[in-house]
Structure 1
Amino acid sequence: MRRVVLVVCGLVLAGSLAVPAGGCAPGPSGGQDVPYTVLDESAGDNAWSHDGSWIAYTKYGSSGYFEIWMARPDGTDRHRIYGDSSPRGNSGGIDWYPGDRYFVFTAQNPDATGPRNDLLSKPGVGFNCNLWLGNTDGSEAWRLTDYQSDDLAPLAVIHPQFSPDGTRLFWAEATGEYGFGPGFEWGEWTLAAADFSFESGIPGLHNVTRFQPGEQHSFYESHDYSPDGGRLLFSGNLREGQPLNGLDIYEYRPASGSLLPLTDTFEDWDEHAHYSPDGRTVVWMSGRDLAVEFPSVQGLEWRKYVKTELWMMDADGSHQRRLTWFNQPDHPDHIWLESQVGGTQRAIVSDSSFDPGDGRLALTLAYEPAVGGGRNHSLLVVVSIDELTSRGARFDQSYGLQVP
């Protein structure tokens, strides 16, 4: 690595696309084939607590920045955690620490000011940010990293994830190196992991290691630890010449250095992978079958074109099947979404998190309104996994989709 530092703010995808939506009241949504319950709008990344009683999520607030909120899984008791009391600017990219007293998040550096920094520090972009740990009641927060702002060659860190026992933290970061050409429009990135512990009540990171699996060291995004803590899920364009819009999902074993590709779609967008609580399956978002073209992925241009659906596979990459059809006109998913928000041009199924024990999934659903001009809004919804998987087989047959 030529330059490696750590900064934080979310994950580089559709969870970061949320802007004020307006008009969609949270609450249950009925219908045999539309099992979605809307919890909130203008939402980004989300994380279900270990005891199943809370969902923490990023929300675009009245402050004009992304804030950290919490809600019960039925949508009640919604409240902001870190807003006025947090570091100035955008906060997000949440993951819970075991015991649910703390979570890790990302926050914009106080000296990274102005419209450009406000845009690039959003959760899911993460430039000129740092990594923080906070109490879930919002009473206190500690900065875990100390990376300086740089307007010319900014660093970034996205999507921090705790190991199941809380002793390790896994994330991805931009190295501050740019200008490599096609496939590197977002600069050079790396995966990173460190020991995490409290010393005299103060949290800290130790023994940071960085690794760049694959042939092409372009973009990496951290996603999840396996329930046994021995495997890591991430996405990236690791094959030589693979474009940024062709991200694939990989499983990495730190102990052996082995790398297992779970998807193999050179030009389709695969991202936001998460293990089920028992570790037997993985859900992720994919642009497969949607014929998405990307005239440009420079900067944040990709936001104008990306569209995805929710997929599931076995943990070894087999038995891949599609679970949602928000982008398919006349499908119940598409009809339901339009009934909630009006007309839509496209939908982006983004970040998700599993209920640890009740068979549900929290899902960020971004969409472009019928007259959107490339701007995306979003909903936070909860859905039964059993309902999605059981109806998926019916819809595969009814709509003639080819699923491997």
Structure 2
Amino acid sequence: PPVENYFTTPGVGFYNDLWVITVDGKKAWQPTNLSVNELTSVLHPQFSYDGSKLLWAETLYRSEMAIKIADFIVDKGEIYLKSVTTYQPGSIHIFYETHGFSPDDKKIVFTASIDAEYWTGMDIYTLKLETLKLERLTNTPEEWDEHAHYSPDGKKNCMGIKPWLLF
């Protein structure tokens, strides 16, 4: 079906921004302000363990995404992002889904179709932020691997894997 059929489908991620809202819902901030003229979006924002950084996947336009990390700043009652860094590991940048930081905040874990024959054959990767070393954790070309999270000690990683009908 055309992508337009999914604009309002939860989890697809078009036409949305990052928002931070107080627990009581009385105050809100919008740290991103993406274009409403393109198919832009944010997906799966995650805080670093120390709370100083924010990680998310961003649709740059219809068929290109990136992983972004920024300093998360709270200053004088305001919230904003600073020093945004963009990552596009691999040669295929059609989809990224961020899952979080390692407990020491030195790596990120995410889903991508970096070299998949089909974009739905996604695998889980880690990226060491200091060296940009990419490590593939799964290799299941006919399955969509996602929602990977580290154990609190960082020694294990759990994830969801589901078969995907490939056309």
Taking structure 1 as the reference length, the TM-score comes to 0.39
Letter in 1 for 2:166: F
The reply to whether residue 198 of structure 1 matches residue 74 of structure 2 is yes
Q: Which structure has the larger Rg?
A: 1
Cα deviation per residue 1:262-311 (whole Å; 9 max; x = unaligned)? 00112211111111122121111112xx5x4233xxxxxxxxxxxxxxxx
Query: In 1, distance between residues paired with 2:74 and 2:31?
Result: 11
Amino acid at match of 1:137: D
Q: Alignment partner for residue 224 of structure 1, among 100, 107, 117?
A: 100
Point out where structure 1 has 5 or more consecutive residues left out of the alignment: 1-115, 179-186, 296-404
Look up the equivalent residue of 1:201 and give its one-letter code. Answer: G
Q: Does 2:19 correspond to 1:143?
A: no
Give the distance between the partners of 2:79 and 2:57, measured in 1 at CA: 20
Number of the residue aligned with 2:58 = 173
Answer 1 or 2: higher relative contact order, Cα 8 Å, separation at least 6. 1
CA contact (8 A) 1:192 1:211 kept: yes
2:104 matches 1:244 = no
The partner residue of 2:21 within 134, 138, 142 is 134
Among all aligned residue pairs of Structure 1 and Structure 2, give the percentage whose two residues are the same amino acid: 40
Q: Per the alignment, in what secondary structure is the counterpart of residue 189 of structure 1?
A: strand
Q: Distance in 2 between matches of 1:123 and 1:158?
A: 11
- Where is the helix percentage greater, Structure 1 or Structure 2? 1
CA distance 1:121–1:230, shift in 2 (3 Å): farther
After TM superposition, the score normalised by the length of structure 2 is 0.90
1:122 is displaced (CA, Å) by 4.4
1:192 partner letter: K
In 2, distance between residues paired with 1:230 and 1:283? 18
Please list every run of 5 or more consecutive structure 2 residues that lacks an aligned counterpart in the other structure: none
- Structure (1 or 2) with the greater strand fraction: 2
- Quick one: which amino acid aligns to residue 12 of structure 2? V
- Deviation at 1:148? 2.9
CA deviations over 1:121-174 (Å, ceiling 9, x no partner) = 444222111111111222221111112312xx3111100000011110000011
Q: 1-side partners of 2:85 and 2:53: how far apart?
A: 11
Alignment of 1:46-57 (within 5 A): none
Aligned length: 164
Residue matched to 2:45: 160
Asked whether the equivalents of residues 124 and 159 of structure 1 are also in contact (C-alpha less than 8 Å), the reply is no
* AA aligned opposite 1:135: T
